[in-house]
Amino acid sequence: MADLTRLTAAETAARIAAGEVSAVEVAQAHLDRITEVDAKVHAFLHVDTEGALNAAKAVDERRAKGDALGPLAGVPLALKDVFVTQGVPTTCGSKILEGWIPPYDATVTRRLKEAGVVILGKTNMDEFAMGSSTENSAYGPTGNPWDLTRIPGGSGGGSAAALAAFEAPLAIGTDTGGSIRQPGAVTGTVGVKPTYGSVSRYGLVAFSSSLDQGGPCARTVLDAALLHAAIAGHDPLDSTSIDAPVPDVVGAARNGDVRGMRIGVVKEFGGDGYQAGVLERFNESVELLRELGAEVVEISCPHFDYAMPAYYLIAPSEASSNLARFDAMRYGLRVGDNGDRSAEEVMSLTREAGFGPEVKRRIMLGTYALSSGYYDAYYGQAQKVRTLIARDFDAAFAQVDVLISPTTPTTAFPIGERADDPMAMYLADLCTIPSNLAGNAAMSLPCGLAPEDGLPVGLQIIAPTMADDRLYKVGAAVEAAFLDRWGAPLLDQAPAL
Amino acid sequence: MSYEDALSSFDPVMGLEVHVELGTATKMFCGCATEFGGEPNSQVCPTCLGLPGALPVVNRTAVESAIRIGLALNCNIAEWCRFARKNYFYPDMPKNFQTSQYDEPIAFDGYLDVEVQGKTYRVGIERAHMEEDTGKSTHVGGATGRIHGADYSLLDYNRCGIPLIEIVTKPIEGAGELAPEIAKAYVAELRDLIKALGVSEARMELGQMRCDANLSLRPHGQEKFGTRSETKNVNSLRSVERAIRFEIQRHATVLTDGGTIVQETRHFHEDDGTTTAGRVKEEAEDYRYFPEPDLVPVAPSRDWVEELRGTLPEVPSVRRKRLQAEWGISDFDMQSLVNAGAVDAIVDTVAAGADSDAARKWWLGELARSANERGVEVTALPITPAQVARVAALVKAGELNDKLARQVIEGVLAGEGDPDQVVEKRGLKVVSDEGALGAAIDQAIAAQADAVAKIQAGNLGPVGALIGAVMKTTRGQADAARVRELILEKLGVS
Amino acid sequence: MPGITREEVAHLARLSRLELGAEELDHLATQLDDIIGAVARVGEVAADDIPPTSHPLPLTNVMRPDEIRPGLTPEQALSGAPAAEDQRFRVPRILGEEQ
């Protein structure tokens, strides 16, 4: 039998449904793979062996009884450690939550369980999803399976690395400024940020509430669509959840086609600061789309240049408030309680000890931006920029069906290179941030390797709000054409671990 | 400085902030029960406990209550408003921000008329907004058992997240020496209005309604307001009056001595009616308000607002005037009813068939006395207006006299059942068997020849003695008026 | 826009309940100054007639019925508590006051 860890999620589910393999065998194969390679990759913060095998066993039992199984029943998945899981530790990559075992499940967690998905464990991430390299995890960095000395992207580096290292065929990430797409780009995997409000945030530990969005990570466009369909949809526990049917993403992924579509290249994303190999692969993708029958035009979104400054005001501001609850009173770390110190002192000592440098930096920045006297100049202005960016998108989508750009300006950089240079680190999300500010949908999928370093390059596809299906329609067409050209999936070129 | 001296130099300006805990079944942003008195931390969920990842969803009934309060206070209702986060660290508040409303309240710019000494004052309402309550801390150890000097604290979050409506007045100017009474009358009127709306029981002793009182003084003729103090948690009508009075005298003393008033929060002490300064903060608070990103705006449609307007009760002050006219009673009598908290009970008793005089007589007499003995509100007694109306009906029909009626009420309060059951069980029927009465009368006439002679000579004074004897024989179960008639008839003087 | 001072950074740390060390404070002051200098660019484009966007979706009036939902048991509620006593969260003595 073929190596179960190399199968796609769709293939795995089909084999389980057909009785060719049991869910327990599939789960065990992945747990074995994790045991084999994760000491090197460090994609997981917690592996839930018992929970995974029990979930797999339940799927096998349901199948034995003749129950109808869902399209992902028995498929293993790596869950970003920012979603709460009842009875399973959830740390958000932070020391302040070390050992915390949530008493409830996130809506995404619950839906995955209901779909018969087998949750293998919780993946590594930048602390509270703040970062683009997973170096900000309190539990040590994750390596990029293409080159373990390089970053796997962030904040969802663990989820992306788990896919690229064949530790799981599916993963869940969250994308606040690019934390699904940028890791997808630098690991040669597929990552989708759905339209804001289409995947419930209930139980997703908040970084920036108006930007955070959970989404699927996979090795193929179809797998991402299947996972997207499993987790998306209205949730009455999330006030910002869209109460409308989810677009048919699976149908779109099965029928990739760009013929007759108008596709816009974002003029502002390219040129100085972009790695030559990244631009080379991107231009190749543009040509490919033309060959496939799309009309490709250049579109200007003049305010995108202001997206990053706006993001680095809005996200830290919301974060400074969202992270205030980590105060040593009700759960998590408590430092310095010697019976004499006050609650206030213990709070300050705990937060000082429990948060890493990037989290502190953003809390301070957000506190500053919201302070009276500065609010209008910073937070208020940033919210106006948000309006301008949404208008740019509206104008663009009046002319084209989707926009495209490189996902990230460079390929994976070496671990440590930008660790204490926040401004350089922030550049990694230059192309992904506008969609978080406007709330629309976007995908990153592999478009080849940069010739100068042999590392994966991501192509970003951006669709209007609630037109997530367009991502899959275009993505599936591009994926099929590249597969044709390359003769095998890109990840087959990754070095063996 | 005396109160009168203070007012001879200064004009008081007040501002009142009242928090009302809504009587909804669930909390403002989650489905936890709001019931009072549960086991600690038994009415909590991830949302009100501020667990990582949990999110709020607005309680529709709480929004409706807020709109109805706004409408009853003659406010404009916002066509679009939002919640905001008020950020500050406090262990009673699990998220370390309070979800409140900042510059976009649901209701704004209204008024409430209050009556003091026969004159009507219009108190301007700045705003009414929605927010959530905090948890409760118990301070353990230390000498005082209070917050300062405690060894540690214990937190219970059952109350955390209960919906609050904060109602803020505009500056109340021109009140002069009546300031304390106007403040008290405003809070009382607001309480009655809240109760009439049915959105809260507004029981101040249970913290369901809490008042913060701001006060400043300015010299007569000056337009600019003076520096204000904010006295926190003034939690009874009487305390509102006393706190304002104390602060007027305190401010006047400081100002007259050439001192300056510090803008600060102060605590009111029920025992001696004074206020003391709160802990001085090292740095000015900065709440870093911003729109709550986990909630979407509330945009009440005009139809919805009009529908809610249709549910508003009669304004309590208007209703009182109407009832007073209907019942034909004096201002003083009406005030007694209001003070006794018996107005609604009387309305209900009248609705159950009693005439208003009888209803007032029982609720203000026997029942008020009973309530007083038990130390409860008269409406908390275990007797219903319908039962009181039935007692009144029995008296009217001549089947009970007052003395027996009191025994019936006593029986109902003791849990012996409905008035008719008590009459039955205790055998309390008026003796109306004329044969039995006749025998008792004959016996009395025979025993008191002197009295009989006087009566027959035209002196009716001693009739009372004969009636007394008959009542004694019948153990009080006779109708005294009927006995009198029968005696006079028998003696041929009628 | 003037740069951020060390005193301002110290004030922000107190507001944020972070007990920063002296060296950390200096380091952060430099970094925050850089970042604030860069993000201040948002002032260049957004004019007075541009409305702010606080939220990507134009949703309004999301409300739930006033119906009780099962929450957590006290044991679950207290399961993560660093300290508990009498079914309550035990915390160090509180100095401040309710607002």
CATH value at residue B450? 1.10.10
Cβ contact (<8 Å) for C94 and B91?
yes
Residue B458 near chain A (CB below 8 Å)? no
Q: Grade residue B477 by pLDDT with cuts at 50, 70 and 90.
A: confident
CA distance B303 to B312: 15
Give the residue numbers spanning the domain of B478.
434-490
The CATH number that domain A4-303+387-493 falls under is 3.90.1300.10
Is B51 in the same domain as B179?
A: yes
- Domain membership flag for residue C16: yes
Side chain identity, residue C61: N
- Looking at the domain assignment, is residue C10 inside a domain? yes
CA distances to A412, A427, B415 from A418, rounded to whole Å, are: 11, 10, 80
The SS3 call for residue A263 is strand
User: Of C78, B355, C69, whose CA–CA distance to A237 is shortest?
Assistant: C69
Pair B198, B332 in one domain: no
* b/e per residue A86-115 (b: at least 16 CB within 10 A): bebbbbbbbbbbeebebbbbbbbbbbbbeb
**What is the per-residue pLDDT for B450?**
86
- Tell me: pLDDT of A173 over 70: yes
What is the C-alpha separation between B375 and B283, in angstroms, rounded? 46
Instruction: Name the band, by pLDDT with cuts 50, 70 and 90, for residue B435.
Output: confident
Residue of A97, A102, A240 lying closest to B294 (CB–CB): A240
Return the pLDDT at A27.
98
State whether B240 and B209 are in the same domain: yes
Query: What is the reported pLDDT for C95?
Result: 78
- List, in order, residues 6 or more apart from A485 with CB less than 8 Å away: none
Q: Does B276 touch chain C (CB under 8 A)?
A: no
Spatial separation of the C-alpha atoms in residues A198 and A200, rounded to whole Å: 6
Query: Is residue B282 domain-shared with residue B302, that is, in the same domain?
Result: yes
Q: What is the dihedral of CA A93, A99, A103, A109, to 10 degrees?
A: 40
Chain-chain contact of B90 with C98 (C-beta, under 8 angstroms)? yes
Q: In this structure, is residue C91 part of a structural domain?
A: no
Name which of B298, B307, B290 is nearest B57 in CA terms: B298
B217 and B357 belong to one structural domain: no
Best of A207, A330, A359 to disrupt the B interface (most B CBs within 10 Å) is A330
The dihedral sign for the CA sequence A68, A71, A76, A80? negative
pLDDT mean over A175-182? 98
- Point out the least confidently predicted range of A138-147, A222-231, A249-258, B199-208: B199-208
Q: What is the mean pLDDT of chain B?
A: 91
Q: Which of A3-12, A228-237, A352-361, C34-43 has the lowest mean pLDDT?
A: C34-43
Provide the pLDDT for residue C1. Answer: 46
- What's the ipTM? 0.96
Taking residues A153-176, report their average pLDDT: 98
pLDDT at B432: 64
Query: What pLDDT is stored for residue B145 in this prediction?
Result: 52
- Check pLDDT > 70 for residue B60: yes
Q: Is the pLDDT of residue A215 over 70?
A: yes
Supply the CATH number for residue C26's domain: 1.10.20
Tokens linked to C97: 């006051």
- Nearest residue of chain C to residue A308 (CA atoms): C39
Say yes or no: B7 and B121 in one domain. Answer: yes
Task: Give the chain C residue nearest B154 (alpha carbons).
Answer: C90
Q: What's the average model confidence in pLDDT over A92-112?
A: 98
Contacts of C28 in chain A (CB under 8 A): 360-361, 364
A370-384, B102-116, B396-410, C62-76: range with lowest mean pLDDT: B396-410
Query: Taking the domains of chain A in order of start, what are their residue ranges?
Result: 4-303+387-493
* Pair B404, B444 in one domain: no
**Is position C54 within any domain?**
no
Nearest partner of B23 among B237, B238, B207, judged by Cα: B207
Helix H, strand E, coil C: the string for chain B is: CCHHHHHHHEEEEEEEEEEEECCCCECCCCCCECCCCCCCCCCECCCCCCCCCCCCCEEHHHHHHHHHHHHHCCCEECCCECCEEEECCCCCCCCCEEEECCCCCCEEEEEEEEEECCEEEEEEEEEEEEEECCCEEEEECCCCCCCCCCCEEEEECCCCCCEEEEEEECCECCCHHHHHHHHHHHHHHHHHHHHHHCCCCCCHHHCCEEEEEEEEEEECCCCCCCCCEEEEEECCHHHHHHHHHHHHHHHHHHHHCCCCCCCEEEEEECCCCEEEECCCCCCCCCCCCEECCCCCCECCCHHHHHHHHCCCCCCHHHHHHHHHHHHCCCHHHHHHHHHHCCHHHHHHHHHCCCCHHHHHHHHHHHHHHHHHHHCCCHHHCCCCHHHHHHHHHHHHCCCCCHHHHHHHHHHHHCCCCCHHHHHHHHCCCCECCHHHHHHHHHHHHHHCHHHHHHHHCCCCCCHHHHHHHHHHHCCCCECHHHHHHHHHHHCCCC
Name the domain count of chain C: 1
Q: Out of A14-23, A449-458, B38-47, C52-61, which region has the weakest mean confidence (pLDDT)?
A: C52-61
Paired tokens of B35? 């019931």
Residue type at C48?
Answer: D
For residue A323, give the 3-state DSSP assignment.
helix
Sign for the CA dihedral angle at B179, B184, B188, B193 comes to: positive
Is any Cβ of chain A less than 8 angstroms from the Cβ of B82? no
The pLDDT tens digits for A391-437 are 999 999 999 999 999 999 999 999 999 988 888 888 899 999 999 99
CA distance B95 to chain A (A): 4
Residue B53 contacts A, CB cutoff 8 Å = yes
Q: What is the C-alpha to C-alpha distance for residues B135 and C89, in angstroms, rounded to an integer?
A: 11
Residues B193-206: what's their mean pLDDT? Answer: 94
Mutation site for A-interface testing, chosen from B96, B283, B289 by largest number of A Cβ within 10 Å: B96
Predicted confidence (pLDDT) at residue A19 exceeds the cutoff of 70: yes
Contacts of A315 (CB under 8 A, 6+ apart): A176, A177, A207, A208, A211, A362, A366
Tell me whether B24 touches chain C (CB under 8 Å).
yes
Active site residues of A: 80, 155, 179
Residues B462, B364 within the same domain: no
Task: Give every CB contact of residue B154 below 8 A, 6+ residues apart in sequence.
Answer: B137, B138, B140, C85, C86, C88, C89, C90, C91
Nearest alpha carbon to residue B53 among A79, A190, A42, A56 = A79
Contact A361 C31 (CB under 8 A): yes
E strand or H helix at A434: helix A433-438
pLDDT at B284: 66
Question: Residue B143's pLDDT is what?
Answer: 62
Is it the case that residue B475 has pLDDT exceeding 60?
yes
Answer whether C81 sits within 8 Å of A330, measured CB to CB: yes
**CA-based max dimension of chain C:** 57
Answer yes or no: do B297 and B360 share one domain: no
Q: Write out pLDDT tens, residues B205-249.
A: 899 999 999 999 999 999 999 999 999 989 899 999 999 999 999
Tell me: pLDDT of B68 over 50.
yes
Q: How confident is the model at residue B453, as a pLDDT?
A: 86
A285-316 pLDDT, tens digit per residue, is 999 999 999 999 999 999 999 999 999 999 99
Number of domains present in the structure of chain B: 3
| C46: pLDDT strictly greater than 70 | no
The string of pLDDT tens digits covering residues A432-484 is 999 999 999 999 999 999 999 999 999 999 999 999 999 999 999 999 999 99
Q: What percent of chain B has pLDDT over 70?
A: 97
Are B139 and B45 members of one domain?
yes
> Tokens in use for B388?
């009181």
**CB-facing half-sphere around the CA of B480: CA atoms within 13 A:** 16
Domain that holds residue C17: 6-45
Residue C19 inside a domain? The answer is yes
Question: Which string of DSSP letters, residue by residue, matches A53-121?
Answer: HHHHHHHHHHHHTT----TTTT-EEEEETTB-BTTB---TT-GGGTT---SS--HHHHHHHHTT-EEEE
| Chain B nearest CA to A464, separation (Å) | 21
Mean pLDDT of C18-27: 95
Chain C residues within an 8 Å CB radius of A327: 17
Above 70 in pLDDT, residue B282?
no
What's the CA angle centered on A349, arms C20 and A45, to 5 degrees?
100
Q: Do B253 and B282 fall within a single domain?
A: yes
Residue B369 has pLDDT above 60, yes or no: yes
CA B348 to chain centre: 17
Residue matched to tokens 């309604």: B209
